[in-house]
Amino acid sequence: IKINGWIHFLILPLRRIQLKLLVLERGFTFYFIPANIPEKKSVPSITVRLATIEDLDKLREISPNTNLFKDFLKKKDIFVIALSDEKVVGHICFAMDLPIKYKNFIRLQPDELWHREAFIHPEYRNKGIYPIIFSFAAQIAEQQGFSRVYSSIISNNQKSIEIHTKKFRFNPVFSYTY
């Protein structure tokens, strides 16, 4: 895994680079078992549900890149949103496909997912919303027969690593440099 990443790094100067910066990313890949995620109690005034195509306008308010959200919905990924008074305040996606940069490192089995995307609006952070949407998505994954979900967390995001390993029992698989 590390060798493959370094090969890409070493041949990079041979490729033509057009106005792009070289970004070196270090991170950890984890997995968790959806069946092991306990159900979290709801937060008053927050509704959690699967996203639909009708939610794209609401999602545009927190992220202008709705093409990514359209892809999640087209592929029938597990895409969950949290709403407060019909305003999207957070989302999470467990995808059936890997982002391109991880395809050389991991191969998902048919009963495995990738924790692709998660976001909580800054005004709503530290209010218990993320554990609710995370456990909701994990329950759906379990109901649909998925046995494992993989995730990648950048190594300098210690808060996220701590939350996911302690609260959600993420198990380390490997570290990587990209």
pTM of the model: 0.82
- Give the model's pLDDT for residue 129: 93
Three-state secondary structure of 122-138: HHHCCCCHHHHHHHHHH
Chunked mean pLDDT (size 10), the chain, 178 residues? 52 48 77 91 89 90 82 90 93 91 86 94 92 95 96 92 92 85
Other beta carbons within 10 Å of 36: 11
Helix H or strand E encompassing 3: helix 2-11
Residue where the block lists tokens 């395809």:
103
pLDDT at 9: 52
Distance in angstroms (rounded) separating the CA atoms of residues 123 and 52: 24
Q: What is the pLDDT of residue 6?
A: 52
Q: Which residues contact 176 (CB under 8 A, 6 or more apart)?
A: 1, 2, 5, 26, 27, 28, 29, 105, 152
